[in-house]
């Protein structure tokens, strides 16, 4: 069989074709045979032909090692769009197989090991489901693994894939213009890590949901330790239609050795995250967040937006919605500028404590054209606030804006309306119905 595969591949290359199939290189889709060498042979052959597509048909492919996709090469499964839940199907005798499923087993317990798949300049991974078969859905802490996919070089792409249950999913650092599009799954620890990018990267339609497991021990570990998206140094990243559910932090912006984030974030969401957005640092040019929705529910101090004392940059929230039984919608420190315009604040002070929706302890604050839809304290300015402009907002109940700032503040034209009256209890004064037998 080996010599027949070699003849087929040689003839294919001589004919000038670049469309290959892993089965011609000895791949076995039985869920147990190690396919590392077979897949890498096919990928290397495509690379040697100056680029091509390596197809992996329907089946379950086990791997005891890692793969490198060479420059100009595409590794493609059967999916043209992100599949759903493929990796948890029963693979026992007589059971159907759904799509192209890659099953990594290497480096269990070695979070710093090589990624399962390394993408390089102009290479692409498309149309597969990646499922870690040895990860247990009901055990915490989960088994640590290295990143599932690492993206390097210029213009690597990860599209139309389901990363069903990775420990760490995507390391998209040290590249330029990487594209991550149409990716779903449940990373248990880290979803996407971005850093060392000096030319615009793109993340589109990436959704992290607990489709693989919501069993108590593992899901509680994820909510105490997991982060959906981490952004370090990146130069004007474009992030569109992303979402994460059930993490300690939804979106985390950090300062690395080479800098912080500036970027355009449109239609992003974080639901049931203990902190929806944590900003440790922003680049001076700013982080623009538009049409976001942020929900914090449980944990020691559920809060949608946290700006750390370390922040010196600018962040603007426009037309965003904040809801869910949180303590605060935003806690703001640091020396940077934070703005909220045309936002809706629905839930805060939901755990029997008199919190304000927005509590600022430092920096500069802009709040304009927003609606505060609860009859609760709206904004608190602490002594460390350097500047604040709070104008043209709609309030419910009395205006409760506390100004203890030692800096310059403008607070005006905020319109309050009476809180809606609670409906009367019509049962009062009415005789109680007689009990049976009385």
Q: E strand or H helix at 44, and its extent?
A: helix 36-48
Angle 326-327-333 (CA atoms, 0-180°, nearest 5)?
A: 115
What's the residue count for the chain? 438
Backbone angles phi, psi at 254, to 5 degrees: -120, 165
pLDDT in tens, 366-408: 999 999 999 999 999 999 999 999 999 999 999 999 999 999 9
Give the CA diameter of the chain. 97
Do 242 and 290 touch, CB atoms closer than 8 A?
A: no
pLDDT in tens, 212-252: 999 999 999 999 999 999 999 999 999 999 999 999 999 99
Q: In sequence order, what DSSP letters do the residues of 367-431 get, joined into one string?
A: EES-EE-SSS--EEE-TTEEEEEEES-EEESS--EEE--SSEEEEE-PEEEPPPPPPP-TTTTSP
- CB within 8 Å of 339: residues ≥ 6 apart: 314, 315, 316, 317, 365, 366, 367, 368
The tokens for 385 are 């606030």
Chain centroid to CA 188: how far?
Answer: 11
Helices (H), 121-279: 216-225
pLDDT, mean over the chain: 91
- pLDDT of 2 above 70: no
Residue spans of the domains in the chain: they are 1-225
- pLDDT of 66 above 90: yes
Angle 228-374-362 (CA atoms, 0-180°, nearest 5)?
A: 60
The confidence score (pLDDT) of residue 13 equals 41
Fold type of domain 1-225: Pectate Lyase C-like (2.160.20)
Axis crossing angle, helix 36-48 with helix 2-14, rounded to the nearest 10: 20
* 176 vs 111: CA distance, rounded Å: 24
pTM (2 decimals)?
0.91
Say whether 354 sits in a helix, a strand or coil.
coil
CA atoms within 13 A on the CB side of 386: 10
Percentage of the residues of the chain whose pLDDT score is greater than 90: 85
Q: In sequence order, what DSSP letters do the residues of 187-214 get, joined into one string?
A: -SSEEEEEESB-S--EEEEEEE---S--
Q: How crowded is residue 56: how many other Cβ atoms within 10 Å of its Cβ?
A: 24
The confidence score (pLDDT) of residue 268 equals 98
> Looking at residue 273, what DSSP letter applies?
-
Do 87 and 104 touch, CB atoms closer than 8 A?
A: no
Partner residues linked to 206 by β-bridges: 183, 242
The confidence score (pLDDT) of residue 98 equals 82
- CB within 8 Å of 287: residues ≥ 6 apart: 253, 261, 262, 263, 265, 279, 313, 314, 315, 316
Do 156 and 178 touch, CB atoms closer than 8 A?
A: yes
- pLDDT of 341 above 50: yes
């Amino acid at each position: 069989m080996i010599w027949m595969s070699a003849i087929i591949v040689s003839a294919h290359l001589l004919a000038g074709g670049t469309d290959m199939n892993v089965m011609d290189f000895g791949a076995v889709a039985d869920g147990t045979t190690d396919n590392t060498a077979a897949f890498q042979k096919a990928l290397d052959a495509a690379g040697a032909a100056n680029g091509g597509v390596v197809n992996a048909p329907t089946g379950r492919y086990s791997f005891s090692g890692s793969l490198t996709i060479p420059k100009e090469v595409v590794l493609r499964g059967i999916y043209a769009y992100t599949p759903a839940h493929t990796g948890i199907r029963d693979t026992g005798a007589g059971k159907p197989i759904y799509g192209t499923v890659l099953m990594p087993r290497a480096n269990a317990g070695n979070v710093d090991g090589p990624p399962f798949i390394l993408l390089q300049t102009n290479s692409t991974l498309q149309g597969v489901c990646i499922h870690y078969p040895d990860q247990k859905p009901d055990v915490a802490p989960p088994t640590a693994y290295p990143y599932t996919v690492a993206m390097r070089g210029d213009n690597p792409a990860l599209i139309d894939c389901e990363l069903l249950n990775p420990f760490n999913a995507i390391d998209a650092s040290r590249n330029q213009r990487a594209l991550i599009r149409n990716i779903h799954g449940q990373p248990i620890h880290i979803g996407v890590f971005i850093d060392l990018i000096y030319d615009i990267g793109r993340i589109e339609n990436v959704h992290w949901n607990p489709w693989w497991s919501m069993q108590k021990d593992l899901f509680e570990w994820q909510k105490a330790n997991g982060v959906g998206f981490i952004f370090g140094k990146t130069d004007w990243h474009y992030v569109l239609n992303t979402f994460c559910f059930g993490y300690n932090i939804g979106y985390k912006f950090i300062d690395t050795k080479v800098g912080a984030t500036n970027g355009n974030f449109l239609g992003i969401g974080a639901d049931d995250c203990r902190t929806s957005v944590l900003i440790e640092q922003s680049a001076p040019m700013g982080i623009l967040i538009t049409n976001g929705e942020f929900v914090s529910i449980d944990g020691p101090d559920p809060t949608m937006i946290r700006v750390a004392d370390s922040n010196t940059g600018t962040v603007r929230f426009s037309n965003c919605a904040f809801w869910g039984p949180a303590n605060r919608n935003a806690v703001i420190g640091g020396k940077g500028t934070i703005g909220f315009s045309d936002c809706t604040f629905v839930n805060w002070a939901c755990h029997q404590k008199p919190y304000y929706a927005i509590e600022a302890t430092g920096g500069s604050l802009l709040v304009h054209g927003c609606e505060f839809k609860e009859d609760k304290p709206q904004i608190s300015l602490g002594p460390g606030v350097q500047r604040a402009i709070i104008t043209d907002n709609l309030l419910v109940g009395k205006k409760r804006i506390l100004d203890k700032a030692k800096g310059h503040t403008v607070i005006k034209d905020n319109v309050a309306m009476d809180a809606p009256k609670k409906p009367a209890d019509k049962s009062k004064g009415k005789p109680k119905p007689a009990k049976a037998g009385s």
